């Protein structure tokens, strides 16, 4: 969007350039440097005239602008014109005051240097207009922020106020500036106008009290009378007619058609509010203006002693009221003078002439100082309060070169100051300056050209001679001490600031005009010397302010003393463009890789390298001591174009760098954040770990301590350890409790838990036993009881017991079906409890016979098939014997006395333990079983005994030995 607009603008400029090219062909040259006969003043004048007749009022001499006052509106100061000149190469467009302004502005922005634009020319030549146009140009084209708009408005509006108080109609100019003005416009680094400062020089005070024929006092007086509201005028004691006031009517032209005082009053009034004037300020200010007018109307008469008197005190009263002084004191001060004689003060009356002088001096003095106050007041509203670095463009509207009529005015000079003594002062103070010349200072050669009353300032292009005649008279405003005292006591707030009591105490003479002149000149020089200059030379085409009238003689004169021919000559001999090496290099260094981005050597060498690189031919330039001189504008344009082109690349590069920078910044920030996070996280982890380790060390140490002290009574040192050990043991024990009654394993307890362990073990066993017992059947219980009995009988007594232990007992070894029914019948009254097959050995021959051995409730039976061979009632049973060896022999002893019995029964039974146990349990008597060692004796029949011998051998044998004894051999069991 913006680039499109820019393109349209460029197109417009090109079109414009082409059209002006043809215009230029027709109407001379737009730059005098291009003039063929550049030494001819007539050719110069012709060119100026040709262009003026086409309303082309601007012409260049290189970069200097010559401007001829058109005395008419030309429509060349429009918005579109301002836009056109913005940021365009100086020579690309037709000459214009905007081009000068824009050039200075661009240079300021790009090189950050301070500039000033010096505008010179005769009164009425258009200097003030030019400076206003420049100010407007900046106000419109410079970038602006809303907050700084007020600064811009103040800069603009300070002008009408200053002009109202400092400008007046003269013969040459209806709006002639009667003071020198230097104005600084301050720009911030973005090129926004942010503030300003005004310095005024030597307001023409004499105009307050006297004007030539056809001239006026300062505008403000007429504006006040024309525009001021009725109440205001009444308050000030003024009438609406300027003719009534002596200070306004001497020139006989109070009303002037070209000036609209009423409108101007409106402009000025509204400006006052913008530049911070309060109601109070304005009241005091208008009071002073009115009292000046009243002063002018104070009339003196001479009494018979030749002393001045004031017959009508009407005016005095108004002045006293407005200035806040006592009327009689004022009256005395206007007609008398204090003379100090040693310790006394003597008051002596003034002559009429001196009274008039005193009155005028008072009017001039209060006006002059009020003007200074006004400038200061405006400055305080223009001040920019932030202290960032500013660059400035100064506008110097030079007030000088005035050609005065010799009868201007008379003035009475107290004291010995003369024009000649002023000249001497000048010689003394600035005589050293190379450009200052007087007759005295000039050598014998130059002397003739300078008059005694003249001094001469040499410009580079020519010399301007000033006549000192009347210099002092015009500016004489010495105020009698008496009057000064009155003003110092004033209640008017502005006068209070202007006339300080301290001044009265200072006995020295007030600074002379010469000193003031010198001071302001040197301070101005100081201001200018540090800045880059641009020049505008204004020419007045005729004396009658007429449009389109070109007065050859008048203009030729101005060309001469403005030094334009000399300037042209220098330009022609010289070059279209010159620039300090530093600045040239700074601007174009991007065009050459050697000088970009920095050149470290001397700037001159850098420039040389640069122009070689971009291909300047030798005739295009010259290298000076501090500057490069470029002969042709086109060379400069080409360079500028190249720069313009390279700017885009630079911008891209700067953008890239900047973006990279931003990205990097973001990256660095992120990285930093990540590192911080990481560090914190690691810290947290490490702290956690350290805490755990510490805890671990503490715990381990405590554990060890507890271990060391484990056997001591419970104390803090071992408490925890013991608790731990207990808990641990108990918890461990869970997995090691015996599973059944026979499991005798038990987890070994630590020393301190032995008692508890024992208790627990017992509990556990008891519990297991109970559980076991509960789970047992009646049948099994009976079996177990049998086994218990067996154990009581044979444990550790008879071999084979341990092996037999595991073999469960049977209820019976013979089914009832296997017993002969006859037998069953025989013992039917008794229930058979147990039966087992046995071998019975005859008591005499020891022959082995198979029998059934049956037990009932009451008796034991030895049965052979259907026959009961022997019945042994339990009551007759004496005992049972068996050997300690592993044989199955059992002998049932019966009482020998029992006649029913044949003798003891010798039996062999495979289930000996079972059989004997069953028998014993049925007999229900203890101690009937006898386990013998070696041999046993038994009754073969009552009274006759036999022996059975038990022995061990490699194999089982039972036989009758040669002694007639039964020998039983059994195999020794390993256990
Ligand atoms: P100076 O300040 O040099 O004494 P001014 O700038 O006050 O002169 O100009 C005097 C008059 O000439 C102005 O009041 C105005 O009427 C007229 N004038 C000056 N410059 C121009 C201009 N560029 N265009 C139109 N009129 C102008
Ligand atoms: Mg002026």
The dihedrals phi and psi of 438, each to the nearest 5 degrees, come to -130, 175
Nearest C-alpha neighbor of 381 from the set 269, 272, 270: 272
For ligand 1, the distance from its centroid to the CA atom of residue 130, given in whole angstroms, is 8
Which ligand minimizes its atom distance to the CA of 125?
1
For ligand 1, the distance from its centroid to the CA atom of residue 64, given in whole angstroms, is 19
Per-residue pLDDT tens over the stretch 631-652: 876 787 778 778 877 778 778 8
pLDDT of residue 294: 96
pLDDT of residue 4: 64
Query: Taking all residues of the chain, what is their mean pLDDT, rounded to a whole number?
Result: 84
Nearest C-alpha neighbor of 155 from the set 179, 133, 183, 178: 183
pLDDT of residue 406: 29
Mean pLDDT value of segment 697-715: 89
Nearest-10 Cα torsion for 92, 94, 98, 101: 50
Per mean pLDDT, which of 58-62, 162-166, 713-717 is the most reliable? Answer: 162-166
Mean pLDDT value of segment 817-838: 91
Protein residue whose Cα sits closest to atom 10 of ligand 1: 124
Per-residue pLDDT tens over the stretch 136-157: 999 999 998 887 888 889 989 9
For ligand 2, the distance from its centroid to the CA atom of residue 125, given in whole angstroms, is 8
**In angstroms, rounded to a whole number, what is the distance separating the alpha carbons of residues 793 and 801?**
10
365 lines ligand 1 (CB under 6 A): no
> Sorting pLDDT into bands at 50, 70 and 90, what band is 362?
very high
pLDDT of residue 377: 93
Which has more pLDDT, 446 or 904? Answer: 904
Sheet with 532-539, strands from edge to edge, namely 58-61, 64-68, 532-539, 115-121, 391-397, 180-187, 193-201
Does residue 7 register a pLDDT over 70? no
Mean pLDDT value of segment 355-364: 92
Using a CB cutoff of 5 Å, list residues around ligand 2, an ion: 127-128, 177
Per-residue pLDDT tens over the stretch 899-938: 777 889 999 999 999 999 999 999 988 789 999 999 999 8
Strands 877-883 vs 929-932: parallel, antiparallel or unpaired: parallel
C-alpha 880, offset from chain centre: 119
pLDDT of residue 661: 92
**In angstroms, rounded to a whole number, what is the distance separating the alpha carbons of residues 57 and 361?**
43
pLDDT of residue 399: 61
Nearest-10 Cα torsion for 145, 147, 149, 151: -120
pLDDT of residue 478: 64
Give the position, in ligand 1's atom list, of the atom nearest the Cα of 119.
3
For ligand 2, the distance from its centroid to the CA atom of residue 289, given in whole angstroms, is 22
**In angstroms, rounded to a whole number, what is the distance separating the alpha carbons of residues 853 and 837?**
6
Q: Do 535 and 65 touch, CB atoms closer than 8 A?
A: yes
176 lines ligand 1 (CB under 6 A): yes
CA distances for 509 relative to 116, 414, 501, 512, 789, angstroms: 35, 12, 15, 8, 159
For a substitution probing ligand 1, which of 59, 117, 129 has the most ligand atoms within 8 Å of its CB? 129
Which ligand minimizes its atom distance to the CA of 127?
1
pLDDT of residue 909: 93
Mean pLDDT value of segment 180-185: 90
**In angstroms, rounded to a whole number, what is the distance separating the alpha carbons of residues 352 and 310?**
10
Per-residue pLDDT tens over the stretch 576-598: 677 889 888 988 888 888 888 88
For a substitution probing ligand 1, which of 57, 69, 132, 402 has the most ligand atoms within 8 Å of its CB? 69
DSSP state of 310: -
Structure tokens at 367: 């006006």
pLDDT of residue 635: 80
Structure tokens at 617: 């031919």
Strands 832-841 vs 944-952: parallel, antiparallel or unpaired: unpaired
Does residue 13 register a pLDDT over 70? no
Structure tokens at 355: 């009274």
pLDDT of residue 386: 83
Q: Is 434 annotated as a binding residue?
A: no
Which ligand minimizes its atom distance to the CA of 537?
1
Does residue 286 register a pLDDT over 60? yes
For a substitution probing ligand 1, which of 126, 134, 135, 180 has the most ligand atoms within 8 Å of its CB? 126
Per-residue pLDDT tens over the stretch 606-618: 999 998 988 888 8
Nearest-10 Cα torsion for 191, 194, 200, 205: 130
134 lines ligand 1 (CB under 6 A): no
Which of 29-43, 98-112, 812-826 has the lowest average pLDDT?
29-43
Q: Is 122 annotated as a binding residue?
A: yes
Protein residue whose Cα sits closest to atom 27 of ligand 1: 71
pLDDT of residue 66: 96
Give the position, in ligand 1's atom list, of the atom nearest the Cα of 132.
6
Residues linked to residue 882 through DSSP beta bridges, in sequence order: 890, 931
pLDDT of residue 506: 66
Q: Is 125 annotated as a binding residue?
A: yes
Which of 87-91, 540-544, 792-796 has the lowest average pLDDT?
87-91
Q: Is 883 annotated as a binding residue?
A: no
Nearest C-alpha neighbor of 164 from the set 229, 232, 251, 223: 223
Q: Is 514 annotated as a binding residue?
A: no
Helix (H) or strand (E) holding 336: strand 336-341
For ligand 2, the distance from its centroid to the CA atom of residue 397, given in whole angstroms, is 7
291 lines ligand 1 (CB under 6 A): no
Mean pLDDT value of segment 236-262: 91
124 lines ligand 1 (CB under 6 A): yes
Per-residue pLDDT tens over the stretch 535-544: 999 999 999 8
For ligand 1, the distance from its centroid to the CA atom of residue 132, given in whole angstroms, is 10
Per-residue pLDDT tens over the stretch 375-405: 999 999 999 888 888 999 999 887 653 433 3
**In angstroms, rounded to a whole number, what is the distance separating the alpha carbons of residues 265 and 222?**
9
Q: Is 530 annotated as a binding residue?
A: no
pLDDT of residue 514: 58
Cβ count near 109 (within 10 Å): 16
**In angstroms, rounded to a whole number, what is the distance separating the alpha carbons of residues 419 and 819?**
186
Structure tokens at 357: 């002088």
Mean pLDDT value of segment 306-333: 93
Which ligand minimizes its atom distance to the CA of 545?
1
Place of tokens 């409730």: 857
DSSP state of 31: B
682's CB contacts (< 8 A; 6+ apart) are none
> Sorting pLDDT into bands at 50, 70 and 90, what band is 569?
confident
């Amino acid at each position: 969007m913006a680039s499109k607009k820019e393109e349209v603008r460029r197109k417009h400029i090109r079109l414009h350039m082409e059209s002006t090219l043809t215009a230029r062909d027709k109407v001379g040259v737009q730059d005098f440097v291009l003039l063929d006969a550049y030494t001819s003043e007539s050719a110069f004048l012709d060119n100026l005239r040709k262009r003026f007749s086409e309303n082309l009022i601007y012409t260049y001499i290189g970069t200097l602008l010559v401007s001829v006052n058109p005395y008419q509106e030309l429509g060349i100061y429009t918005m579109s014109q301002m836009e056109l000149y913005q940021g365009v190469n100086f020579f690309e467009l037709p000459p214009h005051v905007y081009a000068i302004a824009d050039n200075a502005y661009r240079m300021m922005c790009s090189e950050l240097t301070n500039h000033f634009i010096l505008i010179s020319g005769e009164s009425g030549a258009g200097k003030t207009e030019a400076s206003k146009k420049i100010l407007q140009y900046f106000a419109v084209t410079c970038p602006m922020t809303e907050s700084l708009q007020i600064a811009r408005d103040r800069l603009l509006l300070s002008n009408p106020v200053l002009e109202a108080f400092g400008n007046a109609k003269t013969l040459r100019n209806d709006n002639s500036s009667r003071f020198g003005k230097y104005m600084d416009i301050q720009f911030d680094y973005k090129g926004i106008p942010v503030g300003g400062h005004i310095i005024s020089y030597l307001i023409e005070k004499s105009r307050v009290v006297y004007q030539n024929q056809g001239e006026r006092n300062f505008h403000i007086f007429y504006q006040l009378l024309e525009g001021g509201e009725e109440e205001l005028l009444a308050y000030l004691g003024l009438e609406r007619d300027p003719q009534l006031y002596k200070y306004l009517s001497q020139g006989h032209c109070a009303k002037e058609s070209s000036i609209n005082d009423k409108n101007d009053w409106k402009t000025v009034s509204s400006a006052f509010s913008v530049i911070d004037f309060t109601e109070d300020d304005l009241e005091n200010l208008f009071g002073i203006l009115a009292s000046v007018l009243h002063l002018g109307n104070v009339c003196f008469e001479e009494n018979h002693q030749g002393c001045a008197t004031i017959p009508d005190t009407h005016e005095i009263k108004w002045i006293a009221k407005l200035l806040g002084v006592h009327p009689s004191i004022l009256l005395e001060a206007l007609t008398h003078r204090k003379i100090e004689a040693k310790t006394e003060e003597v008051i002596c009356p003034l002559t009429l002439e001196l009274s008039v002088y005193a009155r005028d001096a008072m009017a001039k003095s209060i006006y002059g100082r009020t003007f200074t106050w006004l400038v200061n007041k405006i400055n305080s509203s223009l001040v920019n309060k932030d202290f960032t670095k500013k660059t400035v463009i100064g506008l110097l509207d030079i007030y000088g070169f005035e050609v005065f009529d010799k009868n201007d005015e008379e003035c009475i000079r107290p004291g010995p100051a003369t024009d000649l003594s002023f000249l001497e002062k000048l010689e003394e103070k600035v005589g050293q300056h190379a450009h200052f010349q007087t007759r005295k200072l000039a050598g014998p050669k130059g002397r003739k050209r300078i008059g005694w009353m003249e001094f001469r300032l040499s410009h580079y292009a020519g010399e301007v001679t000033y006549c000192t005649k009347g210099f002092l008279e015009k500016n004489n405003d010495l105020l009698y001490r008496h009057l000064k005292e009155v003003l110092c006591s004033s209640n008017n707030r502005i006068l209070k600031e202007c006339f300080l009591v301290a001044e009265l105490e200072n006995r020295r003479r007030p600074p002379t005009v010469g000193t003031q002149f010198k001071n302001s000149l040197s301070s101005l020089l100081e201001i200018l010397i540090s800045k880059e200059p641009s020049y505008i030379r204004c020419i007045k085409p005729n004396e009658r302010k007429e449009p389109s009238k070109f007065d050859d003689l008048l203009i030729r004169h101005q060309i001469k003393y403005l030094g334009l021919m000399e300037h042209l000559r220098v330009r022609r001999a010289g070059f279209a463009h010159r620039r300090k090496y530093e600045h040239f290099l700074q601007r174009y260094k991007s065009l050459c890789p050697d000088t970009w981005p920095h050149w470290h050597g001397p700037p001159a060498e850098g420039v040389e390298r640069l122009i070689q690189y971009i291909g300047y031919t030798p005739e295009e330039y010259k290298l000076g001591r501090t500057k490069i001189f470029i002969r042709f504008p086109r060379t400069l344009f080409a360079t500028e174009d190249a720069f313009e082109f390279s700017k885009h690349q630079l911008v891209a590069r700067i953008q890239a760098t900047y973006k990279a920078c931003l990205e990097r910044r973001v990256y660095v920030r992120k990285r930093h954040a990540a590192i911080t996070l990481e560090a914190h996280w690691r810290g947290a982890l490490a702290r956690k770990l350290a805490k755990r380790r510490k805890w671990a060390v503490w715990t381990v140490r405590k554990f060890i301590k507890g271990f060391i002290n484990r056997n001591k009574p419970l104390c803090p040192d071992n408490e925890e350890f013991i608790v731990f050990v207990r808990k641990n043991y108990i918890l461990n024990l869970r997995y090691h409790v015996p599973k059944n009654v026979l499991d005798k394993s038990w987890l070994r307890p630590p020393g301190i838990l032995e008692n508890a362990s024992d208790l627990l073990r017992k509990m556990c066993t008891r519990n297991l036993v109970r559980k076991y017992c509960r789970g047992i059947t009646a049948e099994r219980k009976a079996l177990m009881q049998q086994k218990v009995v067996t154990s009581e009988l044979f444990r550790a007594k008879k071999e084979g017991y341990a092996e037999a232990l595991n073999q469960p007992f049977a209820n019976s070894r013979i089914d009832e079906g296997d017993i002969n029914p006859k037998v069953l019948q025989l013992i039917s009254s008794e229930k058979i409890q147990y039966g087992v097959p046995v071998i019975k050995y005859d008591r005499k021959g020891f022959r082995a016979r198979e029998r059934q051995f049956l037990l009932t409730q009451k008796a034991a039976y030895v049965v052979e098939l259907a026959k009961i061979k022997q019945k042994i009632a339990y009551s007759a049973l004496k005992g049972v014997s068996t050997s300690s060896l592993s044989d199955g022999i059992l002998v049932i002893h019966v009482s020998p006395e029992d006649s029913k019995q044949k003798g003891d029964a010798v039996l062999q039974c495979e289930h000996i333990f079972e059989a004997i146990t069953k028998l014993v349990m049925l007999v229900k008597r203890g101690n009937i079983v006898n386990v013998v060692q070696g041999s046993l004796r038994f009754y073969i029949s009552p009274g006759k005994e036999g022996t059975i011998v038990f022995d061990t051998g490699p194999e089982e044998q039972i036989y009758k030995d040669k002694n007639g004894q039964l020998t039983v051999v059994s195999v020794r069991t390993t256990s």
